[in-house]
Chain A
Amino acid sequence: MADVDRIPIIKMGEFLLVSIQVDMHDRLAITLQDDLTASIVKNHARGVLIDISSLEIVDSFIGRMLANIAAMSRVLDAETVVVGMRPAVAITLVELGMSLSGVRTALTVERAMDMLRESLGSAARQGSVDAARPE
């Protein structure tokens, strides 16, 4: 695999899309975490999609990075969905002791987009109800 020092972040409307296509060393994972949080703020993103369908393993370090991104994006008012985890990776991750309990997951990008739109839609409705309520 090519040696890269950054994972590209693609802006799609209100969402950011990241597709991890390389076997990440630890520093690269930390860089991605930093770049992504900066990018959420800069682009006022409301959702983050992380495609990990190319990843052959997720160890505790990468698992922690995914959990961190989900937690940080939540604090910055954006939802994260992790997409396309391979079955063997899921089995191994649970046996390793990580359940990624704070991380939303989807099997396909389409389904992840639906999840993000749904949560944005319900947040928007909730917002308009709050706005309409008299003080």
Chain B
Amino acid sequence: MPLGRSDKLPVASDGDVVTVRQRVRALAVEHGFSLVDQTKIVTAASELARNTVVHGGGGIVEIDVLVEGRRRGIRLTFRDHGPGIPDLAAALRDGFTTGNGLGLGLGGARRLSNDFDIQSTPGDGTVVRITRWR
């Protein structure tokens, strides 16, 4: 279950992507994540935040700390109201890109997370949720 209220940040610009990275890093340090786990969740956050800006036309991220027995997790939920993703399976494949990137964003973020969930409705937007447990 989530601990406290979620932290909501705008994800609409290059600068916001940096702010999201820094906020996630601070939280991961505060909750005792190892250096490698910190790096993984921050990198995943960076990929998804960039997707929100570039493909989603901007949105928000909700940052939650989860407690389940003795384990703790950081959950990030990115929401945008962009065009949505018509073919999710294709979008998750490495190398698939509609922008000018490498197409590692979604698949990479999934590999760097413990839990990964994506919902997208063409014309309505996309919600990507990841959790990394300590």
Residues of A within 8 A of B (CB): 23-27, 56-61, 63-64, 86, 88-89, 91-93, 95-98
Contact = CB atoms under 8 A, between A and B. Distances in A.
A59 B17 CA distance: 12
Contact of A26 (B17, B39, B102): B17
A28 B54 CA distance: 16
A103 to B, nearest CB: 14
Contact of B111 (A24, A86, A96): A96
Contacts of B21: 23, 57
B18 A91 contact: no
Interface residues of B, number: 26
A25 B14 contact: yes
A91 B38 CA distance: 12
A57 B39 contact: yes
Given A23-B18, A96-B112, A56 B39 contact: yes
14 contacts: A23-B21, A25-B17, A59-B46, A60-B102, A61-B101, A64-B101, A88-B35, A88-B39, A91-B36, A92-B112, A95-B111, A97-B94, A98-B102, A98-B104
Given A25-B17, A27-B14, A57 B102 contact: no
Contact of B105 (A26, A58, A60, A86): A60
Contact of A92 (B22, B36, B105): B36
B112 A25 contact: no
A123 B101 CA distance: 34
B40 A25 contact: no
Contacts of A27: 14
Contacts of A25: 14-15, 17-18
Nearest to B39: A88
| Chain A, interface SS category | helix
B45 to A, nearest CB: 9
Given A59-B50, A61-B101, 6 more contacts: A23-B22, A57-B39, A86-B39, A89-B39, A97-B94, A98-B102
A1 to B, nearest CB: 8
A64 to B, nearest CB: 6
A64 B103 CA distance: 11
A95 B109 CA distance: 9
Contacts of A63: 102
Contact of A57 (B14, B43, B105, B107): B43
B129 interface: no
